[in-house]
Structure 1
Amino acid sequence: MKLEEITEPLLSWYEENKRDLPWRREPTPYHVWVSEIMLQQTRVEAVKDYYRRFLAELPGIRDLAVCPENKLLKLWEGLGYYNRVKNMQKAAKEIVEEYGGNIPPDYEKILALPGIGSYTAGAVSSIAFGLKKPAVDGNVLRVISRITENGEDILKQSVKRRMEQELEAVMPEDRPGAFNQSLMELGATVCIPNGMAKCDACPVRHLCGARAHGTVLDFPKKAAKKQRRIEEKTVLLIQNGQEYAICKRPDKGLLAGLYEFPNMEGWLTQEEVLSAVEELKLMPLHIRAAGEAKHIFSHVEWHMKGYVVKVASTEEKKAGNLLFINKKESKGKYPIPSAFSAYRKYIEED
C-alpha cells in the first residue's frame, strides 16, 4: 500500500462526516491556535464552552497579551495543565512585539513561539494559512500506525518525525488543512483509542494493514509508562463566617501560581489538624470530615483526605499565608484548580 492512496477517500469522507465545531466555522490563525492548545489533554465536548468563553473575553491576540494573569487562569480553570495558557500569553506578547499582533504565515516562526510544538505549528500553518505542513497528534499516530502496521514505539520523537515526513510527502498541495483534519477526525471518531475501531465506517479500511490481518488492537505500540508517584495530602476547608481560606501556590512547579485550599503533606488526624489551625493563630470551633478524593496528574497522583474546620469569627483577612475570601470572589477572581473540585461542595453548601 502506498500512503498517498489514503488521500482522496479521506478527504471525501471528511467533507461528508466532519463534526460542526465552533473553531471550524471561522478558522482564523488565532482561533485555530486557541482551539488546538485547549484540545491538548481535553475532550472536544468539554472544550466547546471554554473556547466560547475565552474568545468572548479575549477576542484577539492583543487582548490575550495584556490579560491579567488571575483573569487568564480563571478563564482556564478546569482545563488543567495551566502552563499551556501561560505559554500562550508569552507567545501572544511575542507576536505583538515581533509581528505586529498577527501570527506570521511561516511554519518555522510559529514553531519558535513559546509553548508551540510541531503538531500545533502544523495545525495553524495548514488550517489557517494553507501551508503544506503535517499536524501529527496521538490520533494521527494511531491511524497511520494501524494502516501501515508500524510496530515502532509512537512515544519516540524519531518515530513521530518520520511519520511527519511521510505525511508531508503525500499531502495535497491545495488542501493540506482538510487533509490534516481528516486524519484527526478519523482518529477521534472511527479509529478510536479505547476499544475496537469502527472499521466498517472507515473510508480507508480497504487500505488498512491492521484490519486486513486482524491486528487493529495491536497498534499503536507504546513503551510502558513509568508508574505515577503517589502523594498523600490533607486538605483543609477553613471557614470564617461566610468566608473561607485559600492560599497561593509557588510561582514554579505543579499548578504554579494558582490558588488552592490549604493542605499539608500526609494524612493528618483531627487532632493534628486542630493543632495546625491553632498554630495559625485561629480558634477552631468545629471540625468534621470532608471525605477522601483522588486527582491524577501525568506523573503524580494526589490521594487526599479533607476536613471542614469552622473557626471563631475574625475580621483579619490573612492568617499566615492564608487569605480569607467570600464565594463570589472565588468564582470571579481566584482560579482554583480542578484537583480540588471534590471539596468545593463543602464550601458552597454553607
Structure 2
Amino acid sequence: MNTSDFYFDLPKELIAQTPIEPRDHSRMLCLDRNTGKLAHKHFYDVVDLLEPGDTLVINDSRVLPARLYGKKQGTGSDIEFLLLEQKQQDVWEILCKPGKKAKVGAKFTFGGLLDAEIIEVCDDGNRIAKFTYDGSFFDILDQIGQMPLPPYITEKLEDKERYQTVYADELGSAAAPTAGLHFTPELLGKLENKGVNIARVTLHVGLGTFRPVKVDDVTKHKMHSEHYAISQETADLINRTKANGKRVIAVGTTSCRTLESVATFTGGIQKAEGYTDIFIYPGYEFKVLDGLITNFHLPESTLIMLVSAFAGYDQVMEAYHTAVQERYRFFSFGDAMCIL
C-alpha cells in the first residue's frame, strides 16, 4: 500500500486544542469490525460495551515534563531541549533547537537548577547531553520542565496533569498514550464493578511514534524503537481471559503494540521487557487483540495504518470520513473511537 492511501482531508478547526471536561464526556465513534456498522456514543458508554470477564489493557507510562528552556553558558542565547531517552544515570538523548548552538562541548543552564553539556552528536542530528544538578533530577524537571505537547496543539495547557492518564505511573514517555486520557477513576471503578479486568503494561512513547512516513511504499518505513514491559500478573490475566473465551481490548495503539510485540517475539503472552520497533499496517495478522480503544489520528500516520490493519482499511477510512462530517474532535485531546 502507498502512504497516500491513508490521506484524508481534515479541517484545521477539528484539531482539538483543549481537553474535554470531564474526561469521560468526550464523544466516541463505535465501529463493529465484523459488520462495518457505526454508532455515535459518549466515552462513558464504554461500560455498556464491555462484558464481565473482558480484559482492558492500559499503558501506565507517565509523560516526562521533558521540554526545557534555557540559556547557553557564555553567550546567554536561548536554547530548547526535549528529553527523548535516558541513556545512563545523568545522560540523555535529546532534541535541541537551534541545533547549531549545540556542538560537542557546548554548555547550557536551565533555571539555575540544571546544567548540561553536549557530549555527542548523533547521526540523526539528536544530541547526547550529560546533566549536573543538586538534588533529584526528576523533582527539578517537575519544577522547570514543560509538557511536550504535540506541535498541532497551540493552546497553553493550564494543568500539567491533564496530559497524563489518571493511572500514569511509570515515568518515561515523551508523549502521552492519549487514548487513555478519557478515563476517570470513577469510570474505571464502574468497569471493575461490572467484572471487567484492568491489566497494565508499560510502553514509553517516543516521538518516533509520530514521525511522518516519508516513503511512498508503506513497507519501507522504519519505526523508532521504544521500551516496553509486561508483568507476570498481566500475562497471566491476559492468558486466562483468552482461555475463557473473553476479549482482550487494548487502550491505545501503544498497548496494542506492546501485546503484539510480546506475542511476536515470544510466541505468546508472558512476562517480558525490551525494545520494540514493530510496525503494524494492513496485512498484519493480530495474535492477541480482540478490541481497540483509540483516538483519531493524523492522515498518513503509522497510527491510522495500525487501526486500518485491525478494523479493515475501507471501514476505517469510511469511519474517518464520517467523523469529519460529524465534527468529531481529532488527535491528542480529541474524541475516541471504539472498535469491537
TM-score by length of 2: 0.25
- Please tell me whether Structure 1 or Structure 2 has the larger radius of gyration of its CA atoms: 1
| Greater helix fraction, Structure 1 or Structure 2 | 1
| Greater strand fraction, Structure 1 or Structure 2 | 2
Higher RCO by CA contacts (8 Å cutoff, separation 6 or greater):
2
